[in-house]
Amino acid sequence: MGWVIDSSVLIAGERRTADLERLLATHASETVVMASITASELLEGVHRADTERRRAARESFVENLLAIVPVVPFDLRVARAHARLRARLSRAAAVGAHDLIIAATAVALDFGVLTRDRRSFPRIPDLDVVLC
């Protein structure tokens, strides 16, 4: 099985509140990727940094991640999975737009999601979720 890693895990790794290196080593025999929206979220964090020092540190962290974790584009296959998931979710179980794209990426690849988000991803039917 493969895994789509959520930005919540990656940001925790950057902040050193999660051992990202250990997590990736644990899944070294499996494919670990990130959705393109996750790459965007991380890059947005670089641009929102409040100091030049923080921006440079974030940029280094993100670019290192992008060099080792493949980014899966939002293509037609993912769009089809996204449409199916969105149609299946009730309004009461609504999931944020970015999280739904991450979930759709996982579903399209027949992967699970590695996340720290205990609210959104468990609401999505037929999605294997590992809380990190």
CATH number for the domain spanning 48: value is 3.40.50.1010
Is residue 17 within 8 Å of residue 48, measured between CB atoms?
no
Provide the residue-wise pLDDT of the chain in tens; the chain has 132 residues.
899 999 999 999 999 999 999 999 999 999 999 999 999 999 999 999 999 999 999 999 999 999 999 999 999 999 999 999 999 997 767 799 999 999 999 999 999 999 999 999 999 988 999 999
The upper half-sphere exposure of residue 27, i.e. CA atoms within 13 Å in the direction of its Cβ, equals: 21
Q: Which helix (H) or strand (E) holds 22?
A: helix 20-26
**Tally of domains within the chain:** 1
Q: Which domain holds residue 120?
A: 3-131
Q: Whole-prediction pTM value?
A: 0.94
